[in-house]
Amino acid sequence: MIDAPWDKLLHLALFATQTVALRLALPCLPLAMIASLAIGFALADELHQAWVPGRHPDWGDGLADLAGIAVGLLIWPGLVRRLPGSAAEAG
């Protein structure tokens, strides 16, 4: 297990990466749908921990997940400009 505050930073980084990966994998979906999918994954990740021995859901982890999703959505326009042949897909 990773100690605080590093666990929150890990949640943020993982969910930012996941959100960007969802956008890359599903470019035809609107950003609202990408955000909804990422939030669904975050909720599932936290809720399933109620049934895992030694783990428990944590509001702080959930907030870090949401912050990571927001970061992923916010950095998307800058990333897409750097991808070869993707300048028209910035939306």
Count CA atoms closer than 13 A to 60's CA, side-chain side: 9
From the number of C-beta atoms within 10 Å of its C-beta (0-12, 13-18, 19+), residue 34 rates as buried
pLDDT digits (tens, 9 = 90+) for 24-78: 999 899 999 999 999 999 999 999 988 999 888 899 999 999 999 999 999 988 8
The residue among 27, 36, 30, 26 whose CA lies nearest residue 69 is 36
Q: Indicate the average pLDDT of the chain.
A: 88
Longest CA span, the chain: 47
Q: What is the dihedral of CA 7, 16, 60, 55, to 10 degrees?
A: -60
Going by pLDDT thresholds of 50, 70 and 90, the confidence category of residue 12 is: very high
Query: Could you tell me the two tokens for 85?
Result: 């042949």
pLDDT at 86: 61
- Residues composing the chain: 91
8 Å CB contact between 19 and 68: yes
